[in-house]
């Protein structure tokens, strides 16, 4: 029987190689397509921690692995804690983002991140935390000449573009060399945006003046800058401009302050305030160590250090203080005796721009039913006293002895319970400058 099937086709050796190669290339392409079906990879993360000043412009960048067809969206969070809430930055697209540093309120700092997406999904960059934020001190835009005539009106103006408040004051050194704050100043008018100034009318002969200025952003819950000082102006008599004046001692140039690093911003003064410790029994090896001790002490915003080795009795003493309420800067302490006025001061002093504040109110003694006697309950700090109240059943009022010298009540922690409704009443003597007490209330337990 005859068969009509077509003869079997035979492939030439060269044709067979071409077909195998084509099939291999297709398989490789398919495998590659499968391998790239994934969200884009981030090769370079934005800077993890940013140190800057309020108002600075900071640029963040991410680098994405090729192919670079990914869509990049930047997000911002101002929510503190482990679970921040993120929102898209208006106009924040592309591999780089430039933003201004804002003033942190209540300690909440900004964070930024990039979300990088393609058709196969998204990846999120690591967060860039803008936690090391400071506020620049004001700059002087107008100050008097180094010498001025008796009776002249003298003006000091400071500028701080990113501050919500600029505080400008004056210090005076008279013929006896005693530094003091100057009161009765007039505001510089008209007011100019980002500037603040004061005017001293009728400057008396023989005095030296210099301006002090600091800036605040965010009110009581934001930042305060370091204090900046102007040059010194000497007031001479009208009729004889060459009348000898006391030698100029510019803040920060005294030999004692040269013993401290410039970052400490020490001045050759004895700053006054509520005394939180007995400096005669507390010493530190350097002014930096004294400043750091103030940082660790709740309530301390002012430190005074015995820098003069020649004064052995007070050398290396470290006094921790709280500036008097209602003041806009440190108060210079006057020598209390004639002997102190006649000898050089051994002190250098400084302030903290962002102190650790006490949770209560100075010179407040709240009433209530006594739970724990303070003379049997000594606590090292106001925070520790507040925590002791929190740990005591029924306690909603605490009173702590803050005064470190001249008082037998230092560190006493009295725990009480207020049951009279509303806010606890204040005992007699509260708000007096001589009060030894710092009181606080646990509002959630009233």
Distance of CA 219 to the CA centre of its chain: 12
| The predicted structure's pLDDT at residue 241 | 44
| Helix/strand/coil for 91 | strand
Residue among 288, 258, 289, 294 nearest 273 (CA): 294
Residue among 261, 249, 226 nearest 345 (CA): 249
| The predicted structure's pLDDT at residue 245 | 42
Round the average pLDDT of the chain to a whole number and report it.
82
Give per-residue pLDDT as tens, 416-426. 999 988 889 99
| The predicted structure's pLDDT at residue 4 | 53
Element (H, E) at 360: none
CA distance 113 to 50: 13
**The whole model's pTM is what?**
0.47
- Tokens found for residue 335: 């020598």
User: Is the pLDDT higher at 85 or at 329?
Assistant: 85
Give per-residue pLDDT as tens, 161-205. 888 889 888 888 754 444 577 877 888 877 788 899 999 988 888
Whole-number Cα distances in Å, 44 to 65, 68, 124, 223, 291: 9, 14, 12, 32, 39
Ordered by start, the domain boundaries in the chain are 42-134, 136-240, 260-357, 361-445
Give the dihedral of Cα atoms 199, 201, 207, 208; nearest 10 deg. Answer: 20
Question: Does the domain at residues 136-240 carry the CATH identifier 2.60.40.10?
Answer: yes
Q: What is the 3-state secondary structure (H, E, C) of 177-191?
A: CCEEECCCCEECCCC
**439 strand-pairing partners:** 361, 399
Q: What's the CATH code, domain 260-357?
A: 3.50.4.10
Output b/e per residue, 345-376; b: 16+ Cβ within 10 A: bbbbbbbbbebbebbbbbbbbbbbeebeebee
Output b/e per residue, 396-434; b: 16+ Cβ within 10 A: bbbbbbbbbeebeebbbbbbbbbeeeeebebeeebeeee
Q: What's the CATH code, domain 42-134?
A: 2.60.40.10
pLDDT surpasses 70 at 109: yes
Q: What's the CATH code, domain 361-445?
A: 3.50.4.10
Domains 42-134 and 136-240 equal at CATH topology level: yes
């Amino acid at each position: 029987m005859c068969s009509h099937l077509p003869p079997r086709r035979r492939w030439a050796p060269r044709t067979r190689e071409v077909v195998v190669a084509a099939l291999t290339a297709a398989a490789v392409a398919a495998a590659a397509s499968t391998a790239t079906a994934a969200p884009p990879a981030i090769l370079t993360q934005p800077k993890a921690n940013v140190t800057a000043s309020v108002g600075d412009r900071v640029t963040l960048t991410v680098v994405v692995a090729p192919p670079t067809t990914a869509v990049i969206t930047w997000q911002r969070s101002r929510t503190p804690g482990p679970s921040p809430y993120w929102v898209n930055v208006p106009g924040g697209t592309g591999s780089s983002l430039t933003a201004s540093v804002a003033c942190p309120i209540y300690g909440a700092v900004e964070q930024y991140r990039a979300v990088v997406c393609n058709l196969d999904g998204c990846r999120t960059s690591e967060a860039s935390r803008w936690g090391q934020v400071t506020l620049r001190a004001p700059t002087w835009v107008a100050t008097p000449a180094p010498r001025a005539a008796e009776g002249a009106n003298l003006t000091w103006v400071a500028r701080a573009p990113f501050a919500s408040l600029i505080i400008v004051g004056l210090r005076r050194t008279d013929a006896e060399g005693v530094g003091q704050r100057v009161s009765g100043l007039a505001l510089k008018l008209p007011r100019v945006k980002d500037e603040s100034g004061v005017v001293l009318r009728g400057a008396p002969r023989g005095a030296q003046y210099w301006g002090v200025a600091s800036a605040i952003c965010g009110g009581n819950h934001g930042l305060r800058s370091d204090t900046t000082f102007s040059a010194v102006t000497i007031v001479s008599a009208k009729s004889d401009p060459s009348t000898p004046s006391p030698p100029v001692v510019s803040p920060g140039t005294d030999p004692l302050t040269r013993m401290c690093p410039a970052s400490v911003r020490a001045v050759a003064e004895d700053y006054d305030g509520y005394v939180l410790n007995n400096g005669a029994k507390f010493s530190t090896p350097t002014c930096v160590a004294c400043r750091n001790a103030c940082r660790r002490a709740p309530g301390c915003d002012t430190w005074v250090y015995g820098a003069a080795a020649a004064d052995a009795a007070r050398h290396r003493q470290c006094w921790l203080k709280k500036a008097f309420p209602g003041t806009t800067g440190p108060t210079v302490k006057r020598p209390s005796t004639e002997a102190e006025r006649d000898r050089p001061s051994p002190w250098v002093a400084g302030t903290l721009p962002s102190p650790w504040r006490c949770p209560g109110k100075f010179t407040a003694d709240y009433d209530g039913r006594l739970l724990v006697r303070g003379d049997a309950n000594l606590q090292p700090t106001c925070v520790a006293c507040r925590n002791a109240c929190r740990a005591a059943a029924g306690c909603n009022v605490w009173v702590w002895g803050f005064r470190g010298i001249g008082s037998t009540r230092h560190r006493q922690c009295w725990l009480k319970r207020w049951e009279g409704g509303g806010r606890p009443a204040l005992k007699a003597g509260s708000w007096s400058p001589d009060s030894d007490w710092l009181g606080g209330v646990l509002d959630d337990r009233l």
